[in-house]
Amino acid sequence: ALTYFLSNPYDDFSLYILLKSPFFSIDEGSIVKAVNSEGDCLFSKWRKTRDGSEKLLDEWLLKIQQVPLSELIEEALSRTKAWEFFHEAQQRANVKKFIKLVEDLEADGKSLLKIRDFLERTEERADEPKANVNTEGMDAVRIMTIHGAKGLEFPVVFVPGIDEGFFTKAGDSLIYDTEGKLFFKYVPQSAVRRMDEDFILHSRKENEEQKRLFYVAVTRAEQAFFLTGRWSENNNSFLGFLKQGLGLNRVEPGAQSTEHRDRKTENRKQKTKKGPQWGTSVQLEGLSVISEQEIKALYKKRPRPKTSKAPSAPEKFIPIRVEKPLIWNAVTETIDIRRQHGKDWAVLGDVIHRLFEDISNGVITEGDMRARAQKLLMTKGIVNKQNERLLSVIGEDVSLLQEKGIWQDVIMPRDNSFSELPFVLGSGDTVYTGRIDRVINEDGVFKVYDYKTFPVDKKEMSYLLKGYASQLRIYKEAVKNLFNAEDVRSYIIFTHTGEIKEAG
C-alpha cells in the first residue's frame, strides 16, 4: 500500500489501507469523517486532519524523488514503529524479503512505476514462497511444498512419499498451443488417450516437469537428505526416477545386488537379515538404502534400569526463573553489495567465494577454475555475453592476486588452514553464527582473512575498514574460542584491487 500510494497519491484505496495499517493505525471512524469532507481525493481531504500523519506522507512523497524506495520503506517502518507490529519471526522475514525484492528491482534499474507494475502483476501469485526464517537455535521443523522450497537450503531435508504416483493435469481434456494457435481436445476414452499423440506429448512434458521438481527437492539439503516411501512397481513417481537413475532394485532373501556384492569384507561377515533388501547399481559416496526393520533397529530404545521407588517428598513451590531468550544473529556484511554495486556483483561475489573455497580445499585446480566458474554462473541464471563478461572479471581478479603473491600465500592449499570455517559464538544474550572465508595457522599465529569481491576506490578504504571492523572482531573472537588461540590477526582482501589490509 505504501508503494502504491507513493507512485500515485490519488490512489484512494491504497491510502485507505496505508492509514489503517501498522504505519499509522488510524481508526475507521476518522477515515470515514475525512472521506465525507470536501476535496478531490482522499489525500487532499486527509491533509486537513492535522494529526501529524499528513506531514509524514508529504515528507515521503518528497523523499521518494531522491531516496531509493527500499530505504524509504525501512525508514517508514522505523519512524512509525511499525516494526513492533511484526514481532513474529515469519512476519519479519516476509517484510525483509519484500524489501530485498524492491532492492533487486531498483538494482535492475526499475523505476517506481515499473516496481508498482511488477507488484500488481505478481501479488496474486499463489506459488510465491514465504521468506526463509533462520530456525537455528529453535526447536522446530519446517514443513513446506517443494515449490515453496525453491531457492532455500536447509541442513537436513526429508522428502516422504516418494512412491506416490504422478497425476496428469489434463484428464480427459487438453488445451495446447501449436504454431501459435490454441487448440482444445476432448477424449473421454482412456484407451484412446493412451494412443493419442497430443496426450502422449503432454504426458512426456509433465514427466520432465516432475524430474525438474525432483531435482529441486534433492538439492535443498546442505548436510543430509532423506527419501522415504514404500516399494512399488509403479515407475511414474520419484521412486521410479531412482530406479531409472541409480538402478535401485529390490533384492529378495538369498539374492544379491551389485551393492551387496561390492560391500567390504567386514559387512559380508554380518548375519543375513530376514526380509527383502534394496540395492543400487551405482555407487555413490554417502548413499545408503535401508529397510524399515533396519531403521527400527537403529533407534531401538534401551530398557530402562529398574529403580526402587523412593517415598514421595512433601510438595514445594519453587519460583521459576524465566531466562531472557537468546538473540541469534547471522554475521553478514554491514554494507549491502546489491544496493551499492548491483545484482551482478552480488552474484559474482558468491561465485568467487565458492571458487576460492574449492581451490583452498584442493577440490579443483587452477586449470579447472574457468569451467567451474562458468557452471556456477549458469546455475544463477547468468548466460551468454553476461557470463563471458563476469568470467573475464574473475580471470582479471585472479591474475592480479597471483601477481601480488596473495594467491600463493592465502588462497592456494596450505597445511593448518581452513576455508569457509563455520562458527557459533556466544556473547552475552546474543549468539553469532557465520562462516569465515579463510583461517591460516602460522606457527601459533592465527590469521583470519575475509574476501571483499566488489569494486573499491582507494578513497573508500578507510571507511570500509571501519565499517567491517566489528565483523572482523567477531571472527577473531570466534577463532580464539575454536582453537584456544592467543594471537589472532584479521585481514581484508579486496580481490578487485589486489590489496590486503589489516582490520578489526
pLDDT in tens, 353-366: 989 999 999 989 99
The whole-angstrom separation of Cα 197 and Cα 186 is 13
pTM (2 d.p.): 0.41
Query: Has residue 184 got a pLDDT over 80?
Result: no
* Average pLDDT of every residue of the chain: 80
Q: Please check whether residue 278 is in contact with residue 313, taking contact to mean a CB–CB distance below 8 angstroms.
A: no
Higher per-residue confidence, 380 vs 82: 82
Domain ranges of the chain: 2-122, 147-246, 330-502
The whole-angstrom separation of Cα 68 and Cα 97 is 16
The CATH number of 2-122 is 1.10.486.10
- CB atoms under 10 Å from CB of 376, counted, come to 20
| Residue whose entry in the numeric block shows the C-alpha cell 500500500 | 1
The predicted pLDDT at position 125 comes to: 59
Domain 330-502, CATH among 3.30.70.20, 1.10.260.40, 2.40.70.10, 3.90.320.10: 3.90.320.10
Query: Has residue 34 got a pLDDT over 50?
Result: yes
Query: Has residue 339 got a pLDDT over 60?
Result: no
The whole-angstrom separation of Cα 242 and Cα 163 is 10
Interstrand relation of 417-427 and 430-442 (parallel, antiparallel or unpaired): antiparallel
The predicted pLDDT at position 127 comes to: 53
Interstrand relation of 487-494 and 445-452 (parallel, antiparallel or unpaired): parallel
Higher per-residue confidence, 359 vs 455: 359
- Read off the pLDDT of each residue in 92-107 and give the average, rounded to a whole number: 83
| Residue whose entry in the numeric block shows the C-alpha cell 477515515 | 31
